[in-house]
Amino acid sequence: MRQWVKVAEVGELAPGEKKQLDIEGVAIALFNVGGQYYAIEDVCTHDGAPLAHGKFVGEEIICPRHGARFNVRTGEALCLPAVEPVETYPVKVEGKDILVELDL
């Protein structure tokens, strides 16, 4: 069932910062790109590395294992060795809460 889950509060995550989350067993990486929040599955589509451990530049996350890059807004794989996109999740802000829509 899809539901909105609070994952953080506004102010916890400055622009350019990221956060690794485990929501009931779903690994999520949350990003702040210039004040907008984006969430992706925290599993590289190449070989399963946790993307939130990688370097975050602009709106790209660089996989810490083999260097694939993903756009955190769209999930698109931007370079090899990854070719498949990562899943993205809708994010909204309500008051001071950041919520992500997940299928739990």
What is d(CA 40, CA 77) in angstroms, rounded to the nearest whole number? 12
Check residue 65 for interaction with ligand FES (CB under 6 A). Answer: yes
Check residue 17 for interaction with ligand FES (CB under 6 A). Answer: no
> How many CA atoms are closer than 13 Å to the CA of 49, on its beta-carbon side?
18
Choose which of 19, 46, 72, 77 interacts with ligand FES (CB under 6 A): 46
Check residue 9 for interaction with ligand FES (CB under 6 A). Answer: no
What is d(CA 42, CA 82) in angstroms, rounded to the nearest whole number? 14
Q: Quick check: bond before 81 cis, omega within 30?
A: yes
Check residue 52 for interaction with ligand FES (CB under 6 A). Answer: no
Kindly list the residues in this chain that would bind ligand FES in the complex (CB under 6 A). Answer: 44, 46-47, 49, 63, 65-68, 81-82
